[in-house]
Amino acid sequence: PTQLVIPRANSADAIVRNSDPFADLIHLPNLGPWTLLVALLAAFGWGAAHALSPGHGKTIVGAYLVGSRGTAKHA
C-alpha cells in the first residue's frame, strides 16, 4: 500500500491516508448484487483452478502412485 498525503491550508492539518488500489475498488458507490455474484463466481473459479494446479502434495502423491503402480482405487 502507498500513503497519500492530502494537503490542507495549514500543513499541520494534512490528512494522511493509506491507499490500496485494490481495496479502493470495494468502496465504489455503484456496486450492486450482480457485482458481488460475479466476484464470488470468479473467486470460486480461481480457487478451483488453483486447487487443480501442481502443488498441494498432488505431485508427490501422483509420483508415489505411479511408482507403486497404483490404480484409481488406490487414489
Give the model's pLDDT for residue 16. Answer: 53
Cα(60)–Cα(50) distance, rounded to whole angstroms? 17
pLDDT single digits (tens) 32-72: 888 889 989 999 999 988 888 877 777 777 788 888 887 77
Q: Structurally, how many domains does the chain consist of?
A: 1
State the pairing for strand pair 15-19/2-6.
antiparallel
Cα(18)–Cα(45) distance, rounded to whole angstroms? 30
Please report whether residue 43 resides in a domain. Answer: yes
**Rg from Cα positions in the chain:** 24
pLDDT single digits (tens) 9-39: 555 555 555 667 777 777 777 778 888 899 8
Please report whether residue 16 resides in a domain. Answer: yes
Cα(51)–Cα(45) distance, rounded to whole angstroms? 10
User: Which three cell numbers mark 41?
Assistant: 463466481
Per the structure, the complete domain to which residue 23 belongs is given by: 2-67
